[in-house]
Amino acid sequence: MSEHEFTYRRLLPKSRVVVSIMACISVVSGVVAGYLFMTSMAGVSQAVKIVWTTGSAIYALASVLLIIGVWKLIKWLIYPYMFLLIMAIAVYTMILQWLFKNLPAAVFASVAISFIFLGVALHMTKSLDQIRRETA
């Protein structure tokens, strides 16, 4: 090998750490958004508050499943996180609107965050197949 040739090594173990950090952020966000849905939605019926709080709790649970799926190499545990894209947008919109008090900026930022997290999770599903092939 000459000095001008580059070797390419995939950063698969590091991507699992990144996905785990992302999922931890999602768990905390789901719990915080559930609290905010119950406390800060004035003028909304109790049933609507319960539905949104339950949705954010399911999003937090799907994030825990994402962590388990990444470290146990179980691909189907990652899919619930990806299916809850709309709930992720709602969770991050609620948190960012509470922080910045600006709905358009909160929606834009939450859509960007949610699609970045979706892309990282999708990349991880592809990487899990390679990790399994390398360990087999």
Supply the range of the domain harboring residue 84: 15-130
Q: Is residue 40 part of a domain?
A: yes
Predicted local confidence at residue 8, as pLDDT:
53
- Contacts (Cβ under 8 Å, ≥6 apart) of 12: 127, 130, 131
79 occurs within a structural domain: yes
In a domain, residue 7? The reply is: no
Q: Is residue 125 part of a domain?
A: yes
| Domain count within the chain | 1
Rounded Cα distance, 37 and 51, in Å: 9
pLDDT in tens, the chain (136 residues): 556 655 555 555 678 899 999 999 999 999 999 999 999 888 889 999 999 999 999 999 999 999 999 999 899 999 999 999 999 999 999 999 999 999 999 999 999 999 999 999 999 998 888 877 877 7
Say if pTM beats, i.e. exceeds, 0.75. Answer: yes
